[in-house]
């Protein structure tokens, strides 16, 4: 990383992200550049109370989790399955909205970086085995140059008041505002398991 001109702060971010993610995935490394850029534009530092939205579940969400402590568990990270490699970071606010920064991979800028370009486009010409290191080096050297940014306004997530109710289908208790179409998500549209008789 050092020989590719990655500064010390980013090297630290990337090292910690890779350890957390358990592999040096290209999207994760770009995510570290994106989070770093967003923090800089916000004038924020790690440790501040920040909120993040990732527009893809692939790799990217681990970067704000590790670098900015926006985690799914502390409810400061939202992952939307939109399919864009984009990240928005904003500060906490007592107002109904907060101004933040959206950072995204800019396809136009990718034209200057052929390896990242074909990897990002899922082009069959990209061969992971022969081009993986080349891709990593191109990201290290140009991580920020493939990104564009914009100022955005986002709604502030307020804590909801709730009382427990029993799902009429399974009988398990959930907050009242989580009832969908008269039942809990697991009995409805979010069902993800079937019971096994033992």
> Judged by CB under 5 A, does residue 191 bind Zn ion?
no
Q: Which helix (H) or strand (E) holds 91?
A: strand 86-91
Which of 38, 72, 111 has the alpha carbon at shortest distance from 120? 111
> Judged by CB under 5 A, does residue 187 bind Zn ion?
yes
Q: Which two tokens mark 22?
A: 């358990």
> Judged by CB under 5 A, does residue 82 bind Zn ion?
no
Which of 179, 109, 193 has the alpha carbon at shortest distance from 148? 109
Piece of the chain touching Zn ion by CB under 5 A; list 77-85, 101-109, 111-119, 170-178: 170-178
Q: Which is nearer to Zn ion, 97 or 169 (CB)?
A: 169
Q: Which is nearer to Zn ion, 28 or 167 (CB)?
A: 167
Q: Total number of residues binding Zn ion (CB under 5 A)?
A: 5
Q: Which is nearer to Zn ion, 155 or 168 (CB)?
A: 168
Minimum separation from the CB atom of position 196 to Zn ion (A): 17
Q: Which is nearer to Zn ion, 46 or 188 (CB)?
A: 188
Piece of the chain touching Zn ion by CB under 5 A; list 12-20, 50-58, 107-115, 163-171: 163-171
> Judged by CB under 5 A, does residue 169 bind Zn ion?
yes
Task: Say if residues 140 and 6 touch (Cβ distance below 8 Å).
Answer: yes
Task: Say if residues 103 and 40 touch (Cβ distance below 8 Å).
Answer: no
Piece of the chain touching Zn ion by CB under 5 A; list 72-80, 135-143, 150-158, 168-176: 168-176
Task: For residue 81, give every residue at least 6 positions away whose Cβ sits within 8 Å of its Cβ, in sequence order, or none.
Answer: 56, 57
From the list 80, 121, 170, 190, which residue makes contact with Zn ion (rule: CB under 5 A)? 170
Please write down the HEC assignment for all residues of 60-92: CCHHHHHHHCCCCCCCCEEECCCCCCEEEEEEC
Residue 50: count of CB within 10 angstroms of its CB? 24
* Contact residues for Zn ion, defined by CB under 5 A: 167, 169-170, 184, 187
């Amino acid at each position: 990383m050092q020989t590719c001109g990655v500064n010390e702060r980013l090297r630290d971010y990337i090292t910690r992200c890779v350890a957390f993610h358990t592999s040096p995935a290209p999207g994760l490394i770009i995510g570290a550049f994106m989070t770093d850029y967003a923090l800089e534009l916000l004038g924020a530092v790690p440790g501040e109370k920040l909120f993040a939205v990732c527009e893809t579940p692939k790799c990217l969400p681990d970067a704000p989790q590790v670098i900015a402590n926006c985690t799914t568990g502390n409810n400061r990270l939202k992952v939307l399955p939109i399919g864009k490699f984009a990240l928005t970071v904003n500060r906490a606010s007592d107002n109904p909205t907060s101004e933040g920064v959206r950072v995204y991979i800019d396809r136009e800028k990718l034209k200057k970086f052929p390896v990242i370009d074909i990897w990002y486009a899922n082009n069959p010409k990209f061969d992971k085995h022969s081009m993986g290191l080349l891709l990593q080096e191109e990201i290290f050297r140009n991580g920020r140059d493939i990104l564009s940014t914009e100022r955005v306004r986002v709604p502030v997530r307020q804590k909801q008041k709730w009382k427990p109710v029993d799902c009429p289908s399974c009988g398990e208790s959930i907050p009242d505002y989580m009832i969908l179409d008269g039942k809990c998500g697991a009995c409805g549209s979010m069902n993800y398991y079937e019971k096994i008789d033992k």
